[in-house]
Amino acid sequence: MRTQVAIIGAGPSGLLLGQLLHQAGIAAVVIEQRSGDYVLGRIRAGVLEQGTVDLMDQLGLGERMHAEGLVHGGINLGFRNTRQRIDMHALTGGKQVMVYGQTEVTRDLMAARVACGAKTVYEARDVALHDFNGKNPRVTWNKDGAAHELHCDFIAGCDGYHGVSRASAPPALLKTYEKVYPFGWLGVLSETPPVAHELIYSNHERGFALCSMRSNTRSRYYVQCSLDDKVEYWSDTAFWDELRRRLDPEAADTLVTGPSIEKSIAPLRSFVAEPMRFGSLFLAGDAAHIVPPTGAKGLNLAASDVRYLASALMQFYGDKSAAGIDTYSERCLRRVWKAVRFSWWFTSLMHRFPDSGEFGQKLQEAEIGYLLESKAASTALAENYVGLPMEA
């Protein structure tokens, strides 16, 4: 079997790349180790920057997103039992974000791939990448008791942090940077209306809290917790009581509670792998970088990666130029590190750190106070949250 681009991973980054290439007339096969149902069962974030929304529209996949997604022109910051809105729409000249779950993005992309007859291989076992530094790149896997081999020009590694793509890169050429945060997020998904129209990020002496949503009837809430914590330690009642303590009085009084339909603890980390290209192998999305969810950058960074990669491949096949693929890693990493910086800053601003001491706590409080009083500081937050411009 042969194609032009082999895409490893059928998450949103791999499927988005596949559709961009299909639209450009470039053949691609997506190879995924899990089943389609498993991929759709992943609970992930869903705040889309305008650039990500534009990509979905470009692919003709925006109808359901615009019908069901929630447009937000601002976010709320909770501090000292008060809440103040950051008007991102006004501060950025009309930019905004869209709340639309990553699961729904994936569902739309899956349906589009089926509709156009593009090939996706699910439940591919023992996936291996070969000769991506040579002249005969290929991917092998096992499925239904048979061995398969796909020859290609390029391999796009879109298979996440634990995938085979980054693990296949030559260790001597791979440099990684990592920061592990000393806390996690305990998250609850519930069939309850959101406590507010827009997200609430709360800095509280008991720890950070976030009020988010998936729709007008489904909410997602988080509280900062210890890395030693366990989901089974938290009943629904204990979670709701703790969340209320960390919110301003109005939000605490209007919070609608109910049984959790999903509950989990996620550690927080920042991670970047450099470079993002090894011969004919390109890393994209979580295969190359992880950010704390505080800044809502994970899915959006993946979208910008695949936009750069799709553009580079179109240039290669259309103009017979390697300029795009030669600068892919450098272009991506410039944007990646800006997002990593913002996610680190916002995480540091809103969370309680066990080793910061009284001096560090006073500095954090002073910075939040300055942010809420300064238009320049609020603008910097808004510009980063709605998404920095992608390079042309």
193 is catalytic: no
* Distance in angstroms (rounded) separating the CA atoms of residues 184 and 224: 6
CA neighbor of 209 nearest in space, from 245, 257, 255? 245
Q: How many Cβ atoms from other residues are within 10 Å of residue 163's Cβ?
A: 21
Question: What are the angstrom distances between the C-alpha of 303 and each of 215, 294, 373?
Answer: 22, 18, 33
If one counts every other C-beta atom within 10 angstroms of the C-beta of residue 213, the result is 24
- Is residue 320 flagged as an active site residue? no
Residuewise pLDDT in 10s, the chain (392 residues): 999 999 999 999 999 999 999 999 999 999 999 999 999 887 676 899 999 999 999 999 999 999 999 999 999 999 999 999 999 999 999 999 999 989 999 999 999 999 999 999 999 999 999 999 999 999 999 999 999 999 999 999 999 999 999 999 999 999 999 999 999 999 999 999 999 999 999 999 999 999 999 999 999 999 999 999 999 999 999 999 999 999 999 999 999 999 999 999 999 999 999 999 999 999 999 999 999 999 999 999 999 999 999 999 999 999 999 999 999 999 999 999 999 999 999 999 999 998 889 999 999 999 999 999 999 999 999 999 999 988 76
Catalytic: 201? yes
Reply yes or no on whether 275 is catalytic. no
Fold match between domain 5-70+97-178+269-350 and domain 181-268+354-386: no
Catalytic pick among 12, 181, 194, 201: 201
Q: For residue 201, what are the CA distances in angstroms to 58, 111, 384, 389?
A: 31, 34, 15, 24
| Whether the Cβ atoms of residue 290 and residue 269 lie closer than 8 Å to each other | yes
What's the token pair of residue 124?
């591919």
Superfamily of chain region 5-70+97-178+269-350: FAD/NAD(P)-binding domain (3.50.50.60)
Catalytic hit among 194, 222, 293, 351: 293
CATH number for the domain running over 181-268+354-386: 3.30.9.10
Active site residue 170: no
Q: Which long-range contacts (CB under 8 A, 24 or more apart) does 253-259 make?
A: 254/195, 255/195, 256/192, 256/193, 256/195, 256/219, 257/190, 257/192, 258/190, 258/191, 258/192, 259/190, 259/191
* Candidate list 12, 72, 95, 181, residue with the active-site label: 72
Out of 204, 289, 297, 351, which one is annotated catalytic? 297
This prediction has a pTM of 0.95
Indicate the domain borders of the chain.
5-70+97-178+269-350, 181-268+354-386
Residue keyed to tokens 């990493």: 333
